[in-house]
Structure 1
């Protein structure tokens, strides 16, 4: 019930209420069920039992007050209760990832596996990724220290999207604002300059090795944005917000 900012809703409502309701799920034996659908502000009076809309939604699919979720296959996770656990990623809306999580694999509503996972692998020579905001600074420092040539001919000051792969290495770099052939042709003097900038950025970041980041126990890739500016004297500035 934590998404309710207030019982009455007068003081404000969390953005997590965008659906207009909250469904309550339970695991019983080896199966996943939904056993309640509640209105966001149904707990105005704590002594009253909130109205359950499950019958209105599922009708005769209800058995013993609950519905078997046979339509769902996928992974569910929640943070493991331990003192050293902490959040390491948030998508800004719903998805939050913690270092330690309990992961549940579901196939057509049947629980096939429950495991305790660690979502961060601290490599011996890996670069720390716990603080996401610091990664763009690390990328910039590698770009700044790169042995740039042809700066008198090409200006590579742009916004870049850097992909850190499942292995912790930089696997791809694209120009955030120029990705289609039409955009490149319209905004860039030559395709040669465009390719030179991308190739140079990739080389500048090619030796970086970051720690491994996971979600629900599985390695994931991550995109990081960086904006750089080249001055006429050859110095480089970090313009990342």
Structure 2
């Protein structure tokens, strides 16, 4: 959108710059240093205390030592490096943003001690506060990003997934984050989905348009099975909002039900995260002309 940069600037100076694309942490795995989109150190800080955007006494945490200046793409003020030893996951280094190629080991040691204190053993920290799945891109020539959240996380077509229980790695497996169904609609490229949804809305036999104007923004949720799981109007989520902006609840319900019916037969291929099917939300804004023509107003 034309105004996106202005919004990002406003967010940055308001000290909540979560809308800017962020640099990843890193994982040392089989002698490779791989970007990973799992902020495990940040999770530790949030569990320990509410730091109100402070780290090492610095507001907004946009640099560790206070000398590098603000960074749109490193709001947390540091990058962490993790490594696997035997069956355990450790934080091995905390570095200044963008210094992965030439960071100072002594400075990293100081940061580790300042954050983790007595949890530091042999210049590393056991990640015993984390249980769950983390992943990183599988090294393959035909690998590619299939989803990006616009800020931080990238989902790759092929990834290596680690199943972790309180820092202990129980399973390492290579996963594919896409299932190509026999009759499924291709969704490797997210940009194409909006047009597919709109075409179905155009084909639908709308009734009562002289009484109900369904020109609105809709968020369509594609479920983990590739079918349409839900349709909502994001601008009207409470009873009060519906009563204030719609003539009747019946009109509101008609538009929601009609959108669901229009999209009900769609079967998409399946997108996954860490090898497990995931839901995905797609914005669709439509406009009905008086002559019955439907326009796609999605930006």
Give the one of 48, 51, 63 matched to 2:107.
Answer: 51
Task: Flag the 1:170–1:48 CA change in 2: closer, same or farther, 3 A.
Answer: closer
1:163-196 CA-partner distances (Å, limit 9, x unpaired): 0000000010011211211011110011111111
Give the one of 175, 190, 195 matched to 2:253.
Answer: 195
Does 2:53 match 1:29? no
What is the distance in 2 between the residues matched to 1:204 and 1:141? 10
1:60-103 CA-partner distances (Å, limit 9, x unpaired): 32222211111111111001011111000001111100110000
Residue number in structure 2 paired with 1:178: 236
Does 2:176 match 1:115? no
Task: Flag the 1:129–1:74 CA change in 2: closer, same or farther, 3 A.
Answer: same
Give the one of 46, 61, 66 matched to 2:124.
Answer: 66
Q: Which has the higher contact order (CA 8 A, sep 6+)?
A: 1
Cα distance, 1:208 vs structure 2? 0.2
Residue number in structure 2 paired with 1:40: 97
Q: How is 1:77-226 mapped onto 2 (pairs within 5 angstroms)?
A: 77-226=135-284
What is the distance in 2 between the residues matched to 1:174 and 1:47? 48
Conservation of the 8 A alpha-carbon contact between 1:228 and 1:236: yes
Length, aligned pairs only: 234
What is the distance in 2 between the residues matched to 1:47 and 1:162? 45
What is the distance in 2 between the residues matched to 1:182 and 1:47? 55
1:187-240 CA-partner distances (Å, limit 9, x unpaired): 001111111111101000000000000000000000000000001011111111
Q: TM-score, normalised to structure 1's length?
A: 0.91
What is the distance in 1 between the residues matched to 2:175 and 2:292? 47
What is the distance in 1 between the residues matched to 2:134 and 2:24? 18
Q: Which has the greater radius of gyration?
A: 1
What is the distance in 1 between the residues matched to 2:134 and 2:106? 26
Q: TM-score, normalised to structure 2's length?
A: 0.74
Tell me which stretches of 4 or more aligned residues in structure 1 moved more than 6 Å. Answer: none
